[in-house]
Structure 1
Amino acid sequence: MKISLIDSNENRILQNDIIRKIRDLINSKNLERGEKLPSERVISEKINVKRNHIKEAIKRLEFYGVVKSISQSGTFLSIGLTGFNGIVEEILTIDSPSFIELAETRISLELKTVALASKRRTEEDLIRIENTLKAFELKITNGKDYLEEDLLFHLAIAKASKNNTMLSVMLLIIPPILDTYERDAVCDGDQVLSEINKHKDIYLAIKAKDTKKAEEMMQKHFFKLSKFIENKKT
């Protein structure tokens, strides 16, 4: 089951209610770390909720690392009750991230990935980045929407960082960025052509293994987006 950062309010309310009931059930049994949760069927019967909703809620708990599902064995508590209750309380208060929050996270992450990529990139990475750059340039010069090609360019950089955690976070935040994308946050009209040169400068800095230049070019690339975020928060 796919985990999304963005859910409808109705689905999130339902999930949160189920998670509260699962939490209460776990506490009533005083489970310890490593102990098995009741089966989805048993939980479904006890809290009177359909099994597909139980499965979705457990997947969400597993996403945050508080339980672990093992095929053919069941679902187990990954941490002690104190930690479990504390993390679940935080899970229940998390709202779907806004475009501003997603963009802010992306900028912070990409400044780090581009620095690592400039140090760790291979020739294969350079080919991948260059190919996404060409696809990005083609979309812009043909006057077509280029957002997905832009994101693939940045994903190629994240892959070149050789940090799978950072790449995973990038993969996690890209779909909701596409869903909540605000066109005013990037260059429009004639200015969009300058984005080609900015992307090329990032690529060339990575190719030259010039970490300082790579970070500088990435900051320049995100300048308007950073200002957009700053203005929205003031």
Structure 2
Amino acid sequence: MLHNFNQIKVDSPVDMIIKQMRALITSGQLSPGDRLPAERKLAERLGVSRGHVRDALRKLEFYGILRTLPQSGTVVSGLGIAALEGLITDVLQLEESDFASLVETRVMLEIQCVKLAAMRRTDEDLVEIQRAIEAYEVKTAAGESSIEEDLMYHLSIADASKNGVLKSLMMVITPDIIRYHMNYRVCDDKTEFRAHLEHEEILRHIRRKDVEGAEEAMRRHLKDVVNFSKGLQT
């Protein structure tokens, strides 16, 4: 009888904020260019912490639904939901050669991002990277999917690079690569635990502003996905 029951999943505050925001955009109550209230006011209105609001806004920004403009705050992107769906392709339809090319491109972008992050990071950047690591650890420890948390970790490094073009390119290709990687179960509990240790190692090098060490640690971190893409071509 047990197989007839499905596990009940309770949405987190972050998920609920994202659903509200997407509903407001798709219904037309929020239009491209509209500016959102400040984090503090949103948190008070929604009855959640500012940290939950910040995490939700960052995820929506990652997927191109929102964007932050200097001195203007956070606004609804002109891309909209339809463009979002077109931006992130269906990874199951990727050709194997396309996936290998994406991985090659990702390695180049990630290496440049982490090198720049090691040179340019601020104390605030270090806090954000650490928060992403902790969020990843919570999900993996609970045996839950940590795809989004892994994405946010790499995005936090792209943020620390202070190069908006690199960040934008990462936003386009990284979700496809990680989801493809997870759909084929390349990651198990052992590799996820190792990934967490590698996340910490990369942060240590960024904290010390050790450019060469950060680059080498990132190359090791990406080794599994590189080997996986090579295996698809054999």
Q: With structure 2 as the length reference, what TM-score do the two structures score?
A: 0.57
How many positions carry a matched residue from both structures? 148
Structure 1 spans left out of the alignment, 5+ residues: 9-94
TM-superposed CA distance for 1:123, in Å, is 0.5
Alignment of 1:3-14 (within 5 A): 4-5=86-87
Q: What residue in structure 2 maps to residue 113 of structure 1?
A: 113
Counterpart-to-counterpart distance in 2, 1:189 and 1:114? 25
Q: Any conservation in 2 of the 1:119–1:209 contact (CA below 8 Å)? A: yes
Displacement after TM superposition at 1:213 (Å): 0.7
Superposition pairs of residues 152-191 of structure 1, within 5 angstroms: 152-177=152-177, 180-184=180-184, 186-191=186-191
Other structure's SS at 2:227 match: helix
List per-residue Cα deviations over 1:76-100 (Å, max 9, x = no partner): xxxxxxxxxxxxxxxxxxx998433
What's the Cα RMSD here? 2.5
Aligned to 2:209: 209
Q: Aligned letter for 2:122?
A: T
1:148 maps to 2:148: yes
- Post-superposition CA distance 1:104-152 (Å, at most 9, x none): 3212210110011000000010011010010011111111111110110
Give runs of aligned pairs for residues 70-149 of structure 1, distance below 5 A: 98-149=98-149
Deviations 1:141-186 (A, max 9, x none): 1111111101100000001001100001111224434664444474
Identify if the C-alpha distance between structure 1 residues 205 and 122 changes in structure 2 by more than 3 Å, giving closer, same or farther.
same
Query: Which structure has the larger Rg?
Result: 1
What's the CA shift for 1:101? 2.9
Where 1:195 maps in the other structure, the secondary structure is helix
Q: Which amino acid aligns with 1:164?
A: G
**Gap change, CA 1:189 and 1:96, over 3 Å in 2:** closer
Residue 31 of structure 2 aligns with which residue? none
Gaps of 5+ in 2: 1-78
Q: For residues 187 and 89 of structure 2, what CA distance do their matches in structure 1 show? A: 29
1:144 alignment partner, SS class: coil
Identity across aligned pairs (percent)? 37
Q: 1:233 is matched by which residue type in structure 2?
A: Q
Separation in 2 of the partners of 1:231 and 1:106?
17
Which amino acid is the alignment partner of residue 225 of structure 2?
L
Residues 5 and 96 in structure 1, CA contact (< 8 A), matched pair in contact too: no
Give me the whole-angstrom Cα distance separating, in 2, the residues matched to 1:185 and 1:163.
Answer: 32
Contact 1:185 1:224 in 2 (8 A): no
Match of 1:62? none
The residue aligned with 2:224 is 224
In structure 2, the CA distance between the partners of 1:177 and 1:143, relative to structure 1 (3 Å rule), is: same
Alpha-carbon distance in structure 1 between the residues aligned to 2:185 and 2:100: 9
